[in-house]
Structure 1
């Protein structure tokens, strides 16, 4: 299949290179970037005429990108976002792109770090938004049989409810721990080393991704509130133990 990829950031370059193992891939980026192995550079007009166009752009910039590509899309071009949240990007695609444009919501729940050893068994969320039944079937089959992914079909709302307490909370904890400037130690336990791995994975991603995960998912605000309440309860238990003399201090 002729595939276009818009955006050559860290994830976009990785995604284009993975797709190029099985498809003919053209990429467009607003500024010059080194090309991943197996892909071809193209103009914006050229990638918009692809059979499938994957949008690999920051969540907060997606509305502007959609307005940019809208008049350039070829007849029948399937547009698929790859955003880490789904409710708002799905709403934007439905509102901004032409009503005849097939739309597919996707979220590859991995990136260059978590796919270092390959994509086998990694999860990808997919949902046909509009005129995309055939496209969804094609990509589900390609993702599963060629890339070895575990494809999960769920609505944008179901995705965001779940992601707030999986991906959202992971990035929140990773950034909080990263702010503490934790360092490796020769006496580190396995649990501590696992925490450092979380910090490394989450803090390797652009800070804008962290902000977008926390602000464009309608369910992360409640998640953060629950985390804060849990922290407060735990602190109160410790303070009570200190006050009553039941602690070791």
Structure 2
């Protein structure tokens, strides 16, 4: 089976390399300066579209640019799989722009080059079944399990609602803490080191990913409001205690 990967950013390169351990993989990037992972063949866009399965590893915000570009090049029966960190938006865009002769599967590998650097065993991948045969869906579910991934099946809306309060809030907190310029300390507790690890992991990802997570997940607005309410409540509690007098009683 010929596998194609569109996009060779941090995640695309990692994903192409992982897939190349099981399949023959071709890859394409609009950026000629992107490095090609070992074991992956770099090709032009038209040749890429000859593959049986095309994984989209482009930015969420570029979906409306990428999909019309590849739509006329796709062969009937091709399976197009997105790997975006949100699911409602890209799956709606795939249904809008891709021809009916093309199959569609939504996935979210909930890991990347940092969390998967020592292997992917036990790491979660979400699958959102859309326009795909049962046979092909089971094939990919079995493959993900075979390489050690923990498959979670859900709808796009179920994914985004949950991800807003897991991935979305993690990236928001990480970027917020980064603005505070936290630094290593010889007095650091395990909790403080965990916070620094959150900053390091989230800020290693492109700024565009952070923006896209907040903009294209329909549930992150509620998450930010809840977070703001929580912070305001804690500050209000502290202010009310302080107004009484000595905090030590």
Q: TM-score, normalised by structure 2?
A: 0.98
| Cα RMSD for the two superposed structures | 1.0
Question: After TM superposition, where is structure 1 displaced by more than 4 Å over at least 4 residues in a row?
Answer: none
Distance 1:132 1:44 in 2: 26
Distance 1:93 1:115 in 2: 27
Structure 1 counterpart of 2:131: 130
Distance 1:44 1:75 in 2: 17
SS in 1 for 2:163: helix
Structure 2 counterpart of 1:140: 141
Structure 2 counterpart of 1:201: 201
Kindly indicate whether the alpha-carbon contact (under 8 Å) linking 1:100 and 1:131 is maintained by their aligned counterparts in 2: no
Distance 2:59 2:69 in 1: 15
Q: TM-score, normalised by structure 1?
A: 0.98
Deviation at 1:246, TM superposition (A): 5.1
| Aligned 1:9-158 pairs, distance under 5 A | 9-32=9-32, 33-145=34-146, 147-158=147-158
Deviation at 1:63, TM superposition (A): 1.3
Distance 1:132 1:186 in 2: 56
Distance 1:228 1:27 in 2: 42
Distance 1:29 1:11 in 2: 12
> How far does the alpha carbon of each residue in 1:88-124 deviate from its partner, in whole angstroms, 9 at most, with x for none?
1000000110012100000000000011110000000
5+ long unaligned stretches in structure 2: none
Distance 1:221 1:74 in 2: 38
SS in 1 for 2:99: coil
Distance 1:246 1:84 in 2: 47
